[in-house]
Structure 1
Amino acid sequence: MTPRAKTPRNSGQRGGHVLRRMRASTVYLLLSIGALVSIAPYLMTLNAAFKPQSTLLSTQAWTPAVPATWSNFTALWSQYDMSGFIVHTAVVAGTITLGQLVFTTFAAYAFARLDFPGREPLFWGFIAMMMVPQIVTLIPLFLIMSHLNLIDTYRALILPYVFGTPYGIFLVRQYFQTIPADLEAAARIDGAGTWTILRRIMIPLSKPILATLATITFVNTWNSLLWPLMATSSERDEVVTVGIAALQGQFASELHILLPAAAVALLPLVAIFLLFQRHIVRSIALTGLK
């Protein structure tokens, strides 16, 4: 009797494992390509900012800056008040971010946990405001600030956004709803009030989403152009986006001035993201935020 040939018992499992590894490798390859395409413009901007003026136009954008030079940044600071624009933007963005964290947390907790008449219609009214384009509100907002004599001041840049946005309230409210209500009920049994629960339970458990909100708010405020362009007219209150726009009109053909300015405006945003990236990833994993 001829013995039957034995096949490996785990051949099917090994084949499935190899297939899964191939799929994972393909996904990582596609993600790497997408990431490279996304960050390539920023990397080329940083690279070109260090190129000498003589080689800036004679080489490709991705050609390494060899030798690298700081003369472009020196020329930028000597010919233009970039430090003032950076300080103005940091003050405005920092104040708006802090205000949104405070007031958005209060509003989100009220919508998520407190029971009061008209809560749902009011919340959905806030959500409906997310669908209104910013350009629609610019003229009414300008007229209001002009009537209050706030044009060309820090207050005109800060007041419209410091008390929170519909998106921020929605984001934090959805996160608050993922926190078990039993924690709050147990705290109330122990005699804790609303403020104590918010301060000692809700906020500590919500650090990831608050870090995400802070990052989004700071980046959006830093990159804002239309409203600062309308609300300010002097260099005393101009932010970095308005300053670079004016710089582009003044030095349109001098890329050795424009590229360092763009790099200087970009670096604080990269630092903010690197500082809070762990919290952002955690909030995405916990809330399913896309």
Structure 2
Amino acid sequence: MKWTRTVGVYLVLGLGASFTLAPFLLSILTAFKTREQFAGQSVLAWPDPFTVENIVRVLTGPAEFGRAVLVTLLAAVLILIGQLVCSILAAYAFARVDFPGRQVLFWVYLSTLMIPPVVLIIPLYLMMTQAGLRNSFWSLVLPFAFASPYAVFLLREYFRGIPQELIDAARLDGANTLDVLVEIVVPLSKPIIATLTLITIVSHWNSFMWPLVVTTGPQWRVVTVATASLQSQFNGNWTLVMAATTLALVPLLALFLVFQRQFVRSITISGFK
């Protein structure tokens, strides 16, 4: 009975993995096909002949996809830096610094997670317009470059798990609050910081609605908007659209390969806690 249960579990997991990976496989296979192959063969047929024409056309064509990748990458990196710095400072204050109203302020701040992001689009748009930043690079960065409630919550819970004895020992050696944070807390929190790095980069790399609303034209177009524009610009040429989708996946896959150990470790540590 035990082996049948094990086989059943792996079959279910394999089926779920197949449904999850199928769209990515379809995207990659289509990206390296010609239009004739895509129209005349099964969507899961192997490219024959194998061609990189779609990749070249996407990167060098009028859609300026290469520029969109650079704009998205720079915006995501700046948002990541701002969110990590602000979230670490706020989370440490909520976790280890005693001040009046700490718990109330934390839960009020955390309650903003209940607000749907789409509700904030119009107020943010008006703010960017009145500040003269609409259709600029900073309109992509500034609304998200500060602490996020989710990051603060995750870091706070992790910081609370760090032994107080380590912090007390550092204070006995003359370390101030900033020294404790930089020299003790942050090095011990690398797994959770790596996890937040992945989550932040992926969420803002895939952001679509806000960049679509706040920017116009190709100058500050991001990857998601550039990919969507290809569908209308080339009359539904799916080989080009899938080539753009495949290119957009490459940085995320590389990021995951770099941080996979820390990501898995953070899940393991959270499970033990």
Give runs of aligned pairs for residues 215-254 of structure 1, distance below 5 A.
215-254=198-237
- Aligned-residue CA RMSD (Å): 1.5
Measured in 2, the distance between the counterparts of 1:27 and 1:184 equals 44
Please say if 1:258 is aligned against 2:241.
yes
Q: In the alignment, which residue of structure 2 is the partner of 1:75?
A: 57
Equivalent of 1:106 in 85, 89, 113: 89
Give runs of aligned pairs for residues 169-208 of structure 1, distance below 5 A.
169-208=152-191
Measured in 2, the distance between the counterparts of 1:41 and 1:103 equals 36
**Aligned partners of 2:60 and 2:66 also within 8 Å:** no
Measured in 1, the distance between the counterparts of 2:37 and 2:241 equals 15
Q: In the alignment, which residue of structure 2 is the partner of 1:148?
A: 131
**Aligned partners of 2:231 and 2:238 also within 8 Å:** no
The 3 A distance-change label for structure 1 pair 75 and 124 is same
Alignment gaps of 5+ in structure 1: 1-18
Equivalent of 1:36 in 18, 27, 34: 18
Give runs of aligned pairs for residues 52-91 of structure 1, distance below 5 A.
52-79=34-61, 80-91=63-74
Per-residue deviation, 1:186: 1.6
Equivalent of 1:134 in 117, 124, 142: 117
TM-score scaled by length of structure 1:
0.89
Measured in 2, the distance between the counterparts of 1:149 and 1:278 equals 43
Identify the range of structure 1 (251-260 vs 275-284) with the bigger mean alpha-carbon deviation. 251-260
Measured in 2, the distance between the counterparts of 1:177 and 1:36 equals 39
Measured in 2, the distance between the counterparts of 1:181 and 1:65 equals 58
Measured in 2, the distance between the counterparts of 1:190 and 1:22 equals 59
Per-residue deviation, 1:207: 0.3
Measured in 1, the distance between the counterparts of 2:2 and 2:189 equals 35
Measured in 2, the distance between the counterparts of 1:179 and 1:173 equals 10
Count of matched residue positions in the alignment of Structure 1 and Structure 2 = 271
Q: Which amino acid aligns with 1:286?
A: I
Identity fraction in percent = 42
Please say if 1:268 is aligned against 2:257.
no
Per-residue deviation, 1:49: 0.6
Deviations 1:178-227 (A, max 9, x none): 11111111211222111111111100010000000011000000000111
The 3 A distance-change label for structure 1 pair 181 and 46 is same
Q: In the alignment, which residue of structure 2 is the partner of 1:118?
A: 101
Measured in 2, the distance between the counterparts of 1:120 and 1:55 equals 61
Q: Provide the secondary structure at the position in 2 that maps to 1:57.
A: helix
Q: In the alignment, which residue of structure 2 is the partner of 1:23?
A: 5
Per-residue deviation, 1:27: 2.4
TM-score scaled by length of structure 2:
0.95
Per-residue deviation, 1:21: 4.5
Measured in 2, the distance between the counterparts of 1:184 and 1:22 equals 50
Deviations 1:47-106 (A, max 9, x none): 111012211122222211122111111222332311100110011001101111111111
Alignment gaps of 5+ in structure 2: none
Question: Highest Rg: 1 or 2?
Answer: 1
Equivalent of 1:46 in 18, 22, 28: 28
Measured in 1, the distance between the counterparts of 2:254 and 2:225 equals 21
Measured in 2, the distance between the counterparts of 1:99 and 1:22 equals 50
